[in-house]
Amino acid sequence: MYNPKSLKAEEFINHEEILDTLKYADENKDNYELIDSIIDKAEERKGLTHREASVLLACEDQARIERIYNLAEQIKKDFYGNRIVMFAPLYLSNYCVNGCVYCPYHLKNKTIPRKKLTQDEVRKEVIALQDMGHKRLAIEAGEDPVNNPIEYILECIDTIYSIKHKNGAIRRVNVNIAATTVENYRRLKEAGIGTYILFQETYHKDSYLKLHPTGPKHDYAYHTEAMDRAMQGGIDDVGLGVLFGLELYRYEFAGLLMHAEHLEAAFGVGPHTISVPRIKKADDIDPSAFDNSISDEIFAKLCALIRISVPYTGMIISTRESQQLREKVIRLGVSQISGASRTSVGGYADEERPHDTEQFDVSDQRTLDEVVNWLMSAGYIPSFCTACYREGRTGDRFMTLCKNGQIQNCCHPNALMTLKEYLMDYASEDTRAVGEKLIAKEIEKIPNDKVKEIAKNNLKNIESGKRDFRF
């Protein structure tokens, strides 16, 4: 029985409900009256249900798809302005006891060298990341209770936060590690993590069991209920995602929105972010072995529909995608991107991009300076802001900020001040020139005069060497 409030995986992600939803979507894909009324509802910016959004996904009428794209763009502008939050993944260890058939870290892969960073190596990686200008990381690790126990992860988090190299600092560590216990989530929260990210990979249980044939990740319910345990452990910013390409995208899309609805129904707060990874080539992994790959066009449609279905949820895209596609989906709703990522364990401290321990091929291989420059030239503000979580604005408190329209008086100046730090400490000459112009223009857009004055003053202080201002 479908029940969004239930804490049982198969009740809040209910297979029959998804099949009914897909049937309903198919039956109504040419029902323009219904489709128009759903788009009208989305225009109210309060989101859509999985059923409504699935009808729009099935719709193939070009004029209506265009209307969806325009609305996604508008919602993106209204809620997130032109800010794009920057982050980098940090791979701690590729030891893994799971058998995920799409992931090069799977236990049976004997060709990939196994590596786990020592604390000294973590320090080197973090200094390399700080020297690029990063302030926000997502740590990644395989699941291995012996090699990467929770104590190891916690120690790495401590090390990361403790490093202050030149003007550098990692101010927010998001965590992407395997599903764990309430107690371990509590310990992660106490260690000061930002978002807990866990991709569902696929919501389709039978496929899930086949794609995760061995190891603790085989347990579909334990994995699917992980976000509930994270919430119970006190983590109220959680990040969802599916690995597109494993199963039929329409099934995954309905599952993803049902998961968001479940978190809202059971805990009163939806997901903080949704990631949209697609399967990539990797050691021992051939993406063509997975026959549900999606075209760039469908991918863009999915991003636009996520944007209008969950307007308050940030959307993340990684360097799995090319510059061209990133450009397109940033316009349609993506609010966070990684830059200059290396997906190998210990990859940042090396001069050359190493490939041996990589988790997947990186499409966008530009430096952070190039990505920052590119974003600014396209009219975006690359933001290194980490203020919300440091001010305790997580979970529903962050949502309240969004809903009260205070983003322009809060996130906007924070973005500009952290960009200014980046320009002062890490940017190339050209990037700095482009950035200074952008800041001068954007600072005038702060609606509250008092806030504007403080922000201008802070910018001057940053210029004279002070750091870390925030609203």
Under the rule (CB under 6 A), what is the footprint of ligand SAM? 102-103, 140, 142-143, 176-178, 198-199, 201, 217, 243, 277, 279-280, 282, 285, 320, 359-360
What is the sign of the dihedral through the CA atoms of 229, 79, 318 and 59? positive
Local structure of 139: helix, strand or coil: strand
Residue owning tokens 């994995």: 223
Nearest CA-CA partner of 171 in 183, 185, 160: 160
Burial class (CB in 10 A: 0-12, 13-18, 19+), 142: buried
Pick 132 or 198: Cβ nearer ligand SAM: 198
Contact 454, 417 (CB under 8 A): no
| Least spacing, CB of residue 8 vs ligand SAM, in Å | 21
Q: 316: which 2 tokens?
A: 């993340």
- Tell me how far apart the alpha carbons of residues 23 and 105 are, in angstroms, rounded to a whole number: 37
| Least spacing, CB of residue 241 vs ligand SAM, in Å | 7
Pick 253 or 360: Cβ nearer ligand SAM: 360
Nearest CA-CA partner of 238 in 267, 212, 217: 267
Half-sphere exposure of 351 (CA within 13 A, CB side): 0
Contact 312, 270 (CB under 8 A): yes
| Least spacing, CB of residue 304 vs ligand SAM, in Å | 22
**Would you give the end-to-end CA distance of the chain in angstroms?**
45
| Least spacing, CB of residue 226 vs ligand SAM, in Å | 9
Pick 318 or 414: Cβ nearer ligand SAM: 318
Q: 18: which 2 tokens?
A: 């998804």
- Tell me how far apart the alpha carbons of residues 334 and 336 are, in angstroms, rounded to a whole number: 6
Q: What is the DSSP letter of 171?
A: -
Q: 215: which 2 tokens?
A: 């190891």
Helix (H) or strand (E) holding 52: helix 50-58
Q: 339: which 2 tokens?
A: 């830059």
What is the pairing mode between strands 83-93 and 172-176? unpaired
| Least spacing, CB of residue 7 vs ligand SAM, in Å | 20
Q: 108: which 2 tokens?
A: 């049976």
Strand partners, 116: 93
Pick 279 or 305: Cβ nearer ligand SAM: 279
Pick 157 or 402: Cβ nearer ligand SAM: 157
Pick 282 or 368: Cβ nearer ligand SAM: 282
Q: 336: which 2 tokens?
A: 């966070």
Q: 425: which 2 tokens?
A: 């400490």
| Least spacing, CB of residue 223 vs ligand SAM, in Å | 8
| Least spacing, CB of residue 199 vs ligand SAM, in Å | 4
Strand partners, 315: 274
Nearest CA-CA partner of 406 in 72, 145, 81: 81
Pick 243 or 459: Cβ nearer ligand SAM: 243
Tell me the residue ranges of DSSP E strands in 127-270: 136-141, 172-176, 196-197, 238-241
- Tell me how far apart the alpha carbons of residues 380 and 329 are, in angstroms, rounded to a whole number: 13
Pick 79 or 244: Cβ nearer ligand SAM: 244
| Least spacing, CB of residue 181 vs ligand SAM, in Å | 15
Pick 253 or 469: Cβ nearer ligand SAM: 253
| Least spacing, CB of residue 331 vs ligand SAM, in Å | 23
| Least spacing, CB of residue 34 vs ligand SAM, in Å | 34
- Tell me how far apart the alpha carbons of residues 292 and 409 are, in angstroms, rounded to a whole number: 43
| Least spacing, CB of residue 389 vs ligand SAM, in Å | 20
Residue 437's φ and ψ, nearest 5 degrees, are -65, -45
Pick 19 or 209: Cβ nearer ligand SAM: 209
Pick 239 or 311: Cβ nearer ligand SAM: 239
Return the number of other C-beta atoms located less than 10 Å from residue 379's C-beta: 10
| Least spacing, CB of residue 160 vs ligand SAM, in Å | 16
Pick 35 or 92: Cβ nearer ligand SAM: 92
